[in-house]
Amino acid sequence: MIYPLAHLLGGLVLLCAFSLLSQRRLAAMISIYQLEALILSAAAAWQGYAQHELSLYLTAAITLVIKAGIAPIVLRRIVHNFNLIRAVETAMPVGVSMILGVGLIGVAVLVVLPTTINSVGLTREDLAISLSVVLLGLLVMTTRRNAVSQVIGFLSTENGLVLAAIGMPGMPFVAELSVALLVLLAFMVVGVFLLRIREHFDTLDLSGIEEIERRGR
């Protein structure tokens, strides 16, 4: 009963991470990220119930409040306030990036299943799923040109790490890990948006282009 549900929730997280790749609009990406964080929070709560770990409930709460609640709201507000371009600029066609994503899931399974052959039987799939989520998040970061979508990719990667951490029975410092990742997340968001760094990560110095864009609007 424990593992099928855990696997189902993990699989749903993976599905969300994968569908991030296919989205062309920022609003949709933020919503899917919100959904992903929600499922992750459910998974953490379920693992907390199954492992009788209080700290996992804490993780679930943090995930629910901050990642599924505050972060998407902040992101949406930023998109709205700074009047960012709503379409996602991709560095390669969406179809190609999805094919690459399928390949990455294959790589994750190929790595995890043989290397962990001697470890606890039923967490292996969980680990494969988490690694896939991490790799897919990195793929989102590398194939998108907008800073917002890259940050969403980063957040998705971080979700994968948390998924791996909660799936391991007896993994210490899960809550601490999630808090630390949260701090990182917060700095990322603050660094990218509140300091108004740039619309793109794609060029190093965009002050001139930003100026032109501002005048154009």
**Which residues are near another protein by CB under 8 A?**
91, 104, 107-108, 110-111, 114-115, 135, 138-139, 141-142, 145, 150, 201-204
The conformation of residue 90, written as its DSSP 8-state character, comes to: B
Joined together, the tokens standing for residue 24 give 């062309």
Altogether, the residues listed in the chain come to a count of: 217
144 - beta bridge partners?
A: 90
In the complex, what is the shortest distance from the CB of residue 35 to another protein, in angstroms, rounded to a whole number? 25
CA 127/CA 68 separation, integer angstroms:
23
Phi-psi map region of 203: left, alpha, beta (phi>0 left; psi -120 to 50 alpha): beta
Q: Which is nearer to another protein, 17 or 135 (CB)?
A: 135
Cβ 5 to another protein shortest distance, Å: 28
Which residue, 47 or 132, has its beta carbon nearer to another protein? 132
Residue 92: burial class (beta carbons within 10 Å; 0-12, 13-18, 19+):
exposed
DSSP letter at 121 equals G
Q: How far apart are CB 98 and another protein at their closest, in Å?
A: 16
Shortest distance in whole angstroms from residue 186 CB to another protein: 20
Residues 136 and 61: their CA atoms lie apart, in Å, by 25
What is the smallest separation between the CB atom of 114 and another protein, expressed in angstroms?
A: 4
Give 9 or 134: the residue with its C-beta nearer to another protein.
134
Cα 172 to chain center, whole Å? 22
Q: Which CB atom, from 45 or from 135, has the smaller least distance to another protein?
A: 135
Q: Which is nearer to another protein, 91 or 99 (CB)?
A: 91
Q: 155: which 2 tokens?
A: 């957040």
Output 76 or 145, the one with its CB closest to another protein: 145
Helix 94-115 crosses helix 124-143 at what angle (to 10 degrees)?
Answer: 150
Cβ at position 163, least distance to another protein in Å = 18
